[in-house]
Amino acid sequence: MRHADSVGLAGATFHGDYLAKNQDDVAGGHVTRSSGPLADRRALVTGGASGIGRATAVRLAADGAGVVVNHVGDPHPAEELVDAIVRRGGRAIAIAADVSDEMQVRDLFVRAAEELGVIDVLVNNAGVERPFALTEMPLAEWNRVLAVNLTGPFLCAREFARGLGEVGSDGVIVNVSSVHEVIPWPRYSHYCASKGGLKLFAQTIARELAPNGIRVVNVAPGAIATPINDGLADDADKRRAVEAEIPWGRLGKPEEVAAAIAWLAGPQAQYVTGSTLFVDGGMTLYPRFV
C-alpha cells in the first residue's frame, strides 16, 4: 500500500475545512508567528502538494510554522495550497525541486532560507513506487525509486544539517517511511528496500546529530486514503481485502498522519529521536505480517 506522496502527483483535494478548524483552535482563527506549538519554526515538506504532504503542510502552518511546499511538475496544486494558507494568516511558499538532484536540493534550501529563514523542521515525504516482479524490474525503475525515496532524504537531511550547523540551531527531521520498512511486499522490492534503508539511515544520523540538538524520527503510515489509492474507492472488494488486514478496520486519513508528524516536530516530543512511530491502525500487528 502506497503511503508517501508521488513526486509530481497533482490534483489532490485541499482540506480547507481542516485548515479552518485548526486555525480556529490556534489564536482565534489566525495562524501567526507567535502562536501555536511550532511558532517561529520554518518547515520544509517535500512532495508537499498532495496527499500526506499536503495535509502536513496544512497542519504545520496551523500550528504556527512557516512552510515551504516542495513540488515537481504542475505548480498549480502547490500554489493553490500556499494561497490558502496565506489567506488564513499563515506563512508559506512553494518551491519546485527534484529531491533526487543534488544541485536542485541545494538551491531549494538556499531559496527557502532567503525567503523564510534557515529551515529547522524537515519533512522528507516525497516518494514514488510502481509494481514490478523481481525478474521483470528494469534497472532504471529500481534506480528511480531508490533515488527519490532514499537518496532524496539523504540529500535533504545533509543540507538541513549543514544549514543548522552554520547558525548553531536545533531542529527536527521527520521521514515519512511506511509499514513496509518492516513488512515485505511482493512486487515492490525496490520500495521496501528504500523504506528499510530509510529506517537505518534515520537511526544512524539520529546518533550523529543528537549532540547538535537535531532529532531524527520516522513516521510509518499504513494504508492511507491518498490520491494514489483512489482505486480502492472504486473497487469495494479490494478495499474490503485491505481493510481486513487492518485491526482498526478502515483506511487512515492523511490528516491523521499529519497530526503525528506535527507532534514529533513539536516541543512535546523533545525526548524522541531515532524511533519510528507507526500510524497504521494496527496493520503491523496483523498475523499474516508477523
CB–CB of 95/111 below 8 Å?
A: yes
What is the residue-wise DSSP string for 254-271? Answer: HHHHHHHHHHHHSGGGTT
Q: Which helix (H) or strand (E) holds 78?
A: helix 76-87
| Distance in angstroms (rounded) separating the CA atoms of residues 179 and 241 | 17
Cα–Cα separations (whole angstroms), residue 164 to 123, 135, 156, 212: 15, 43, 12, 9
| Distance in angstroms (rounded) separating the CA atoms of residues 243 and 213 | 40
CB–CB of 261/56 below 8 Å?
A: yes
Instruction: Please give the single-letter amino acid code of residue 269.
Output: A
Q: Out of 18, 191, 271, 286, pick the active-site residue.
A: 191
CB–CB of 50/127 below 8 Å?
A: no
The question of whether 286 is a catalytic residue gets the answer: no
> Catalytic residues, which ones?
191
